[in-house]
Amino acid sequence: MNLTILRFDSLDSTNTEALNQARRGADEGLCVVARRQTAGRGRHGRVWISEKDAGLYFSLVLRPKIENKFLPLITLMTAVAVFDVLTELYELKPDIKWANDVHVFDKKISGILAEMTETPKGSAIIVGIGINLKSSNFPPELKDSATSIEAETGAAPNVEKLLESLTEKLAYFYQMLENDGGAGKIRREWAARSSYFADKRVSVKLANESFAGTTRGIEENGALRVETDDGEIKIVQAGDVERLRKV
């Protein structure tokens, strides 16, 4: 994958810009980076706080050559890349919360948003990544649920080094995913890094129901298996999954 980086001082959303670039024919490997987002977003239309230079705001255009059923694994693959960068560069001890958040000590440090679009060159997947660099601009409601590299290490990170390392890791795991047997390898890499893979007590909120249970691994497409308290296995393709804390 050949990487091309487009840099912006400010954008409404790096994902929106990358989607538009893909629809205009951008090649795989286009990276959109902004110092600030005025309308950054996460899953389900949630706002991603994106003050200037307070985070790495980054979106990558992919045109994967894998079976459609395995496309959700791109989110898991991306989380693995973020996990490894945080571990290797900053000696943090992250955890991957299914399916698209990375936490440190149960506080969110990174979020991932993958979106698909149709283009003249075929389907494209846009992978957006937000990593909190510093916590000074967090609103009060996020103080107890979010953290940053600076808060965890005591030093402001070098954003260019972070970006370089992240793109290298993404390229490595993306090649792994596209190779023979890649889907299984990515599932194993994710399972080795996430406490949510198995035996985690969680609450699950779906569009039409909520329930509690215990995680029992993932399906071949990355969906989460949750055993309810009455012994039923439910397959969670999309939804909010939160750790149940002991009282």
Question: How sure is the predictor about 245, in pLDDT bands with cuts at 50, 70 and 90?
Answer: confident
Contact 188, 222 (CB under 8 A): no
At 209-218, the pLDDT tens digits run 999 999 999 9
Show me where the domains of the chain are located. 4-193, 198-243
Residue 25, SS3 per DSSP: coil
pLDDT given for residue 138 in this prediction: 78
Q: Is the peptide bond before 18 cis (omega within 30 degrees of 0)?
A: no
pLDDT given for residue 42 in this prediction: 59
pLDDT given for residue 41 in this prediction: 63
Q: According to CATH, what is the number of the domain 198-243?
A: 2.30.30.100
Question: How sure is the predictor about 246, in pLDDT bands with cuts at 50, 70 and 90?
Answer: confident
Using the Cα atoms of residue 173, residue 235, residue 95 and residue 57 in order, give the sign of their dihedral: positive
Give the residue among 94, 102, 106, 202 at the shortest CA–CA distance from 145: 106
Q: What is the DSSP letter of 155?
A: S
At 17-75, the pLDDT tens digits run 999 999 999 999 999 999 999 977 655 455 656 788 999 999 999 999 999 999 999 99
242 burial type by CB count under 10 A (0-12 exposed, 13-18 middle, 19+ buried)? exposed
pLDDT given for residue 137 in this prediction: 73
pTM of the model: 0.94
At 122-149, the pLDDT tens digits run 999 999 999 999 987 777 778 789 999 9
- Cα–Cα distance between 216 and 200 in angstroms, integer? 8
pLDDT given for residue 225 in this prediction: 98
pLDDT given for residue 135 in this prediction: 84
Give the residue among 50, 151, 137 at the shortest CA–CA distance from 92: 151
pLDDT given for residue 55 in this prediction: 94
- The CATH architecture annotation of domain 4-193 reads 2-Layer Sandwich (3.30)
pLDDT given for residue 112 in this prediction: 96
How is residue 181 written in tokens? 């047997």
At 145-203, the pLDDT tens digits run 999 999 999 998 999 999 999 999 999 999 999 999 999 999 999 999 999 999 999 99
Residue 183, SS3 per DSSP: helix
Interior/surface letters 89-121, b for 16+ CB within 10 angstroms, e for the rest? bbebebbbbbbbbbbbeebbbbbbbbbeeebee
pLDDT given for residue 49 in this prediction: 61
pLDDT given for residue 108 in this prediction: 95
At 92-124, the pLDDT tens digits run 999 999 998 999 999 999 999 999 999 999 999
pLDDT given for residue 5 in this prediction: 97
